[in-house]
Amino acid sequence: MIPNKDIKIFSPIIREAYDRIPALDWATDEITEGIASRIDAVMKEKGISKKQLAELTHRRPSDVTRWLGGGHNFTCKTIALIQQALGVPLIEIAK
Amino acid sequence: MAKTATIKTIEQSEKVGLYSICFDGNNLTEYEKFVQKFMDDATLNKDFQMIFRAINRIVANGALERFFRPEGKMGDNLAALSIDSKVLRLYCLRISDQILIVGNGGAKTTRTYEESEELSGYVMDLQKFDALLAQELKKGSIKIEQNVITGIESASFEL
């Protein structure tokens, strides 16, 4: 299944590979990329570098690189850790 | 021995033009070969899907810097995808936020790609192509217009 209909695919083999990815994985990607994009926006807004976020969270800079990559499967604990370090919420819980 | 290569459009969105290199005598581009090689690989399928989904994120959102880690030398455009996979690598040239040229890749079994004949071969092909593309852009025979490289599909490159 191709998650975004606005994407034109010119290769049959790439189309086949798209069709083999389960819908649940695309839905997961939407959430993980949403969190990564939010972290990136807050870092830019507050002028926080990757190195600084690594220091604030007591993680390695390579961990921050992976968080920002958009495909990282965050645990609730990691989200809470980053929220605490950045001082803003990353996700909202529907009530 | 020099290899002749052309460039083919793989995917196109409003945000990104995704291209790959096709060597003379091959039906598939380097990226299509990578996909064909790992799509059915039971051991590496999870890692392959991670990479394939990362490419989709790029096509949907832009070839943003945060999606990549630089892999090459200072001043070149060589990058690898920033994903959780520790095993599989796919190499590409991030030309801009809107243009990505994807090459080939494979399982990383050595500490660095330089120690692997296969991976360093893919990297060298991309680095050579990167330099040739820069020359053609300077000459004006090929132009980058937002998410499209105009004139590239009719050009051929001696790598």
Number of structural domains in chain B: 1
A30, part of any domain: yes
A3, part of any domain: no
Q: What is the DSSP string of B89-113?
A: EEEEEE-SSSEEEEEEEEE--SSSG
B159, part of any domain: no
A10, part of any domain: no
Please tell me the distance in Å from B37's CA to the nearest CA on chain A. 11
Q: Is-contact B28 B22, C-beta < 8 A?
A: yes
Residue of A9, A11, A35 for testing the chain B interface, max B β-carbons within 10 Å = A11
Q: The domain containing residue A82 runs over which residues?
A: 23-86
The candidate with the shortest Cα–Cα distance to B51, out of A59, B150, B37, B78, is: B37
User: pTM above 0.90?
Assistant: yes
If residue B30 lies in a helix (H) or strand (E), which one and from where to where? helix B30-39
* Alpha carbon distance B39, B53 (integer Å): 12
Q: Has residue B117 got a pLDDT over 90?
A: no
A4, part of any domain: no
**What are the pLDDT digits (tens) for B17-51?**
999 999 999 999 999 999 999 999 999 999 999 99
B84 with A21: Cβ contact below 8 A:
no
**What are the pLDDT digits (tens) for A35-70?**
999 999 999 999 999 999 999 999 999 999 999 999
A14, part of any domain: no
B4 forms beta bridges with: B158
* Alpha carbon distance A1, A46 (integer Å): 38
Q: Has residue A19 got a pLDDT over 80?
A: yes
Chain B window 32-51: which residues touch A at a Cβ cutoff of 8 Å? 32, 35-36, 39, 49-50
Q: Is-contact B91 B126, C-beta < 8 A?
A: yes
Residue keyed to tokens 């998410």: B147
Q: Taking each helix axis from N to C terminus, what angle separates A50-57 and A61-68, rounded to the nearest 10 degrees?
A: 110
CATH number at residue A41: 1.10.260.40
Q: The domain containing residue B125 runs over which residues?
A: 4-154
Judged by phi (left if over 0) then psi (alpha if -120 to 50, else beta), residue A7 lies in beta
Q: Find how far residue B39's CA is from the centre of its chain.
A: 17
Who among A11, A21, A66 is closest to B53 (CB)? A21
Q: Has residue B116 got a pLDDT over 90?
A: no
ipTM above 0.85, yes or no: yes
Q: Taking each helix axis from N to C terminus, what angle separates A23-46 and A50-57, rounded to the nearest 10 degrees?
A: 100
Number of structural domains in chain A: 1
